[in-house]
Amino acid sequence: MELIGALLFLLSVMLIIGVLTTKFSSRLGLPALILFLLGGMILNQFIYFDNVQMTQFIGTLALIIILFDGGTQTKWGRIRPILGPASSLATVGVLITSFATGIAAMYILDFSLLEGLLLGAIVGSTDAAAVFSVLGNKNFNKRLTSTLEAESGSNDPMAVFLTVILIEMIQIPETSIWIAFGGFFLQMGLGLILGMALGKITVFVINKINLDISGLYPVLAMGAAVFTYAVTDSLGGSGLLAVYVMAVFVGNSDLTHRFSILRFNEGFAWMMQIVMFTLLGLLVFPKQLTDVLWEGILIAIILMFIARPIAVFISMVFMKFDLKQKLFISWAGLKGAVPIVLATYPIIAGLENSNLIFNTVFFVVLISALIQGSTLSWLAEKLRLTGAEEDGNASIELINLGNTDSEIMKISIPKNSPAVGITLIDLKLPDDTLIIGINRNKKLMTPTGTSILAKGDTVFVLSDKENRKAAKLALLGSNEETEMYT
């Protein structure tokens, strides 16, 4: 019992400190993951932890939850125009980054070619957890933000594939690279197809099932995300890609209990980030990092200033992005949990230089997140890539009222809404539908019949489930945003 009590005390301290550090990280301009990693490294001095398998399992579970949270909050209307550049960055970009970094690592660390390429593959992808946390609350250009979020959410399959195939080639030199690349396209295809299919099934189940306890709907949605990964992975597809695709579909559907599901996802994703990064920090011994100090710094510099920019400019050569935008995307190639989790693969596989690879990757991630993450806002301002305040994107959230057929919808009024300039008494809302609150300029107003709606208002609408579509049409019109939620 003493051990259980000590572990529970440790977990509680990790969560409390983790939540508090998010406040300090935003003030210091640092990604929160840096503080979590450092916290784990400090705890490492008092607690001995070297369970790589457990860390890999928890890391994979955390990535599923983080991707699900990021995907559900991604607006399809934003990412659809940038699917081309995001897909190119997620495939060709990762391949070029991995190759360039791997060649450098081969000479710097005196590795064989395959070992160098393995390290390059491990750090080749941008990290969804890092990107979502850094970009989420910043006023960057929305097109760039959408491109980076879509890239980070979909580029893990390429990094995982390269890591696994290179480990196999090191262990079994006869492995055919061409057959392996055929397997990659199979993984991507299955990930896309199963992600879409399971996303559609998830939306149908959540909207049709009537649970007695409304708090179970977020648990159902999270279970569906883990199920999507497990099924896709067992069938030979990319589980992480399937989860992201499924989450985007779920997040952009007309979903009951949407509000509670998204809020639960957000809190759970943060909790998993805290636990995951702290555990990853526990695996690292600071004294071992000094053994790869200059090598890690040199590889990180090559990755940030040479490999990533080359990959971005080549993979986006035919894309409609100007020089400033490409420079920003180059600098936003943040590294985080995915490279460190992938760095556990060589350890489990028993490769000769696995510990050296792990420590070097950890050092590279630390430098990348510390330098790039803390300077993104500054660079965006210098390049004049900060975006304007949003006023035209409809946002709908549903708050279910227990076991009733009624829900509260939270709807942001776009500038082209037919309700703009109309008094509430003149709105053609369905019967038994009421506007119970108006949020304007961060102030909550009590609505009356003479209240006039303005663009940018957020209204809270009490409506029966069967009247949701008609109420949204009255407030949003028959625009693309309305169709996306119907």
CATH number at residue 426: 3.30.70.1450
Structural domain ending residue among the three candidates 347, 382, 417: 382
Share of the chain above pLDDT 90, in %: 25
User: Which pLDDT value is given to residue 66?
Assistant: 84
Query: In this structure, are 284 and 246 located in the same domain?
Result: yes
> pTM for this one?
0.76
Q: 351 lies in a domain?
A: yes
User: Which pLDDT value is given to residue 226?
Assistant: 96
Identify the band that residue 137 occupies on the pLDDT scale cut at 50, 70 and 90. Answer: low
pLDDT digit string, tens, across residues 61-84? 988 998 898 888 877 877 888 888
Choice between 379 and 142, residue whose per-residue pLDDT is larger: 379
Query: In this structure, are 364 and 464 located in the same domain?
Result: no
**Averaged pLDDT, 106-133:** 87
Q: What is the 3-state secondary structure (H, E, C) of the chain?
A: CHHHHHHHHHHHHHHHHHHHHHHHHHHHCCCHHHHHHHHHHHHCCCCCCCCHHHHHHHHHHHHHHHHHHHHHCCCHHHHHHHHHHHHHHHHHHHHHHHHHHHHHHHHHCCCCHHHHHHHHHHCCCCCHHHHHHHHCCCCECHHHHHHHHHHHHHCHHHHHHHHHHHHHHHHCCCCCHHHHHHHHHHHHHHHHHHHHHHHHHHHHHHHHCCCCCCCHHHHHHHHHHHHHHHHHHHCCCCHHHHHHHHHHHHHCCCCCCHHHHHHHHHHHHHHHHHHHHHHHHHCCCHHHHHHHHHHHHHHHHHHHHHHHHHHHHHHCCCCCCCHHHHHHHHHCCCCCHHHHHHCHHHHHHCCCCHHHHHHHHHHHHHHHHHHHHHHHHHHHHHCCCECCCCCCCCCEEEEECCCCCEEEEEEECCCCCCCCCCEHHHCCCCCCCEEEEEEECCEEECCCCCCECCCCCEEEEEEEHHHHHHHHHHHHCCCHHHHHCC
Query: In this structure, are 202 and 260 located in the same domain?
Result: yes
Query: In this structure, are 362 and 428 located in the same domain?
Result: no
Calculate the average pLDDT of the chain: 82
Write out the residue range of the structural domain in which residue 475 sits.
396-484
Q: 368 lies in a domain?
A: yes
Query: In this structure, are 319 and 224 located in the same domain?
Result: yes
Query: In this structure, are 371 and 226 located in the same domain?
Result: yes
Looking at the structure of the chain, the number of domains it has is: 2
pLDDT digit string, tens, across residues 368-377? 888 887 788 7
| Model confidence at 389: pLDDT above 50 | no
pLDDT digit string, tens, across residues 207-224? 888 887 778 889 999 999
Query: In this structure, are 322 and 234 located in the same domain?
Result: yes
Q: 390 lies in a domain?
A: no
Query: In this structure, are 340 and 417 located in the same domain?
Result: no
